[in-house]
Amino acid sequence: MPPFSIRRCTVNDAATMASLGARLFTETYGPTHPEPELSRYLARSFSVDVVREAIAEEGVTMLLVEDLHGSAIAYAYLRSSAEPPSGVGGDRVFEIVRFYVDGAAQGRGVGAALMNECFNHAKNRGADMLWLQVWKEAPWAVGFYERMGFSVVGSAPFYFGDRIGDDHIMSKSL
């Protein structure tokens, strides 16, 4: 049995998910995405109300990974994608909006288990294609997604204040 568990979030998990999301985004991108825009982005993207509304939204699933002590160590945010970007095929498409694993938990199978849970969840909801957007300058993330079967099918901008990043669009057939 792995030293962690994965479960679907409810609106009662909004505060935990907001805190975890802000912490892991900062851990991952804080050094390359400076203040004051970092704080503005976190406030817009990870407020408890915004996360609660997302969890309650039709077609959205948030998965939470907890260690044996009940501490949140990773999460994934999936949603149905009625209008996927160019390059992403499929009849019933889902997007992984966010996928983060605490740095201290990386390399322990948490990410692979969480991604497999994303695959299973999307398939159970009838998806035939899964896609995500990832920063091109994050080779560790791109490599992980490639190991999980995703391939680059296009690119898209990521707006962070005045800065515009260049992201890969990656997809995987289910």
Q: Which fold has domain 4-173?
A: Aminopeptidase (3.40.630)
| Neighbouring-strand partners of residue 131 | 95, 171
Residue extents of the structural domains in the chain = 4-173
Per-residue model confidence (pLDDT) at position 1 = 67
Q: With contact defined as beta carbons under 8 Å apart, do 148 and 28 qualify?
A: no
Q: With contact defined as beta carbons under 8 Å apart, do 158 and 117 qualify?
A: no
Q: With contact defined as beta carbons under 8 Å apart, do 65 and 75 qualify?
A: yes
DSSP string, 153-167: EEEEEEEETTEEEEE
Residue with tokens 């993207």: 45
- pTM score of the predicted model: 0.92
Task: Tell whether omega for the bond before 36 is within 30 degrees of 0, i.e. cis.
Answer: yes
| Neighbouring-strand partners of residue 155 | 168
User: Tens digits of per-residue pLDDT, 17-66?
Assistant: 999 999 999 998 888 787 888 898 899 999 999 999 999 999 999 999 99
Per-residue model confidence (pLDDT) at position 164 = 81
Distance between CA atoms of residues 107 and 126, nearest Å: 30
User: Tens digits of per-residue pLDDT, 120-159?
Assistant: 999 999 999 999 999 998 899 999 999 999 999 999 988 7
